[in-house]
Structure 1
Amino acid sequence: MKKLSDEWLAQLPLTNIKSLKPVAGGDINDSYEVISDEGRLFLKVQPNRGKSFFAHEVEGIKLLSQAANVPTVIDYGEIEHDGFLLLAWIEIGTGNQYNLGQMVAQVHQIHQQKFGLDHNFTASKFPKINTWQTSWSKFFIEQRLEPLIKFAKEKGRWNQSREQHYQILRQQIIDYDKNHKIEPSLLHGDLWIGNAIFTANHQPMLIDPDVFYGDREFDIGITTVFGGFNNDFYRGYNDTYPLRPGFEKRVSWYQFYYALMHVYYFGENYESLLDGILSSFN
């Protein structure tokens, strides 16, 4: 974690910073609780990544706010080449996952004509190219899966066995897309349980988005990888916006993506998860 100097802190759009305390905030950013004359705030810092790193998150929060509770953005910008994002402090509580499922379904009912987004997100460790596509399989394979496989190969985290199973998975996606209408939905993009919280007044909230428009089963598939979402969540979702029949046969496409992402980021601890998912493609 980068040590923030008094000179650095003085450039924040805050008055009279009284305290700064590191807090848990995920694997990607340095995170802090800040107390100033403006109140209690949550500060995220991305060393040496500049303003553009958080511009994508701010845009995602804005898009999700059309249908979901999201953090309140105070400001974001760049100090000494470091990106920063200031959010209103959120008191964490508990809530009903049925309501969370309904909220995610409402987000997915925001549609677009094509798959993708109006900007790329290239400041991350895995750059996301979001060029608009009319085909979901083309977008997902060419702009998500195959770039990620390329990075995994460069790190020595890909092999011939994985390639053989992947080719079967790839063809399934192409074949399904040819014969079914998939409508582009607004996606959270990183919907694990850590990014779906409840506030102190028991309201569900979505945080840390990586948005684009895609197959809504992508988000739901990611919810199944590490758990934490219970039957009430899926019931709330399906009561609001039912999934297409046969989702259980397609869920592993998106589990594969998320497991491979973790193999690329974090290495061998996730390789058994990846190979377990791929083993079903024979």
Structure 2
Amino acid sequence: MMMTKEWLSQLPVKNIKYCKTIHGGDTNKAYQIKTATKAYFMKVQPNSSVAYFDHEVSGLKEIAKAGVNTLTPLFQGQINGTAYLILNWLETDVGSQADLGRQVAKLHHFHSAKFGFGDQTQNRVMIKNNQWNQSWAEFYIRQRLEPEVASARKLGYWNDEREEHYRRMVAQFTAYYDCHKVTPSLCHGDLWFGNVLFARGMPYLIDPDVIYGDREFDLAMTTVFGGFSNQFYRAYYEEYLFDGELAQRLNWYRFYYLCMHLCLFGESYGRAVDEILSHF
């Protein structure tokens, strides 16, 4: 959408001299806005309420509470039916993946008594129920996998073969967590490399979809689209050990991310979903 002078004049940032569209992901429109002395990062979502960005704002604050670098929400509101979120602007540069690994480990060392985040969010295809749950297996199956598979089925991206392998995966997942305890860790929730940036030589985690969950949920996402180096995993491991069977468990969580992409972007992700399910 085009940002008009009339719309921009209603923002709490005054005397805006410049507004430029920038790459900001698939969900929201993103802009850099500038005054004579300062730059800001702004996300907007048309036809949305003032509460549209509440989950992201809460997540950014929770990540900051954990002592991990992230963006700072400055202003939030709605103008003419379009929700906006204004954050600080960071000039990006390069940094160390080892530092990134230590930051993610620090995030995962921040714990809660339960799983979830106490709210709910909605994307184009499903509602994500983040209400608190004592059981990780129940949270992941009932509040993540089942709504996602229901969406895939409704959209015509599901079939009997996928259903059969999916049920085997869920049975294996349930059996494992009947015998293994999980500590609820603060998870970014969408930890692909596009949601990492470096500024002032330090890593920052951006665009979160936070929950308290199994930290392996985040680690799985780092393996889906690449970008994370061996230095990242070595540094993470030094701060927060994981066992030798981690690789066998990650497919449970890779499925969630790839099936979400199947729902959002169609059958071009079907082969990747089928490859994951073929392990079960």
Q: TM-score, normalised by structure 1?
A: 0.96
Partner SS state of residue 31, structure 1: strand
Q: 1:125 to 1:17 in 2, by over 3 A?
A: farther
User: Displacement of 1:84 after TM fit?
Assistant: 0.4
Deviation per CA, 1:55-83: give whole Å up to 9, x if none. Answer: 11111010001221001222111111211
1:148 aligned residue: 148
Q: TM-score, normalised by structure 2?
A: 0.96
Contact 1:53–1:123, Cα closer than 8 Å, also in 2? no
Q: 1:261 to 1:166 in 2, by over 3 A?
A: same
User: Displacement of 1:253 after TM fit?
Assistant: 0.5
Counterpart code for 2:108:
H
Contact 1:186–1:216, Cα closer than 8 Å, also in 2? yes
1:50 aligned residue: 49
Matched residue pairs, number?
279
Identity %: 45
1:268 aligned residue: 267
1:223 aligned residue: 222
Aligned-partner Cα distance in 2 for 1:155–1:118: 28
Cα RMSD of the aligned pairs, angstroms, is 1.2
User: Displacement of 1:163 after TM fit?
Assistant: 0.4
Q: 1:24 to 1:100 in 2, by over 3 A?
A: same
Question: Deviating runs (4+, > 4 A) in structure 1?
Answer: none
Q: Which runs of 5+ in 1 are unaligned?
A: none
User: Displacement of 1:123 after TM fit?
Assistant: 6.1
Aligned-partner Cα distance in 1 for 2:52–2:93: 29
Aligned-partner Cα distance in 2 for 1:261–1:222: 12
Aligned-partner Cα distance in 2 for 1:247–1:143: 23
Aligned-partner Cα distance in 2 for 1:159–1:38: 56
1:161 aligned residue: 161
Aligned-partner Cα distance in 2 for 1:110–1:68: 10
Deviation per CA, 1:1-27: give whole Å up to 9, x if none. Answer: x12222211110011111111111111
Q: Which runs of 5+ in 2 are unaligned?
A: none
2:79 aligned residue: 79
User: Displacement of 1:118 after TM fit?
Assistant: 1.9
Matches within 5 A, 1:228-239: 228-239=227-238
Contact 2:3–2:19, Cα closer than 8 Å, also in 1? no
Contact 2:162–2:274, Cα closer than 8 Å, also in 1? yes
Aligned-partner Cα distance in 1 for 2:123–2:272: 27
Aligned-partner Cα distance in 1 for 2:122–2:50: 12
Q: 1:38 to 1:119 in 2, by over 3 A?
A: farther
Aligned-partner Cα distance in 2 for 1:139–1:92: 36
Partner SS state of residue 179, structure 1: coil
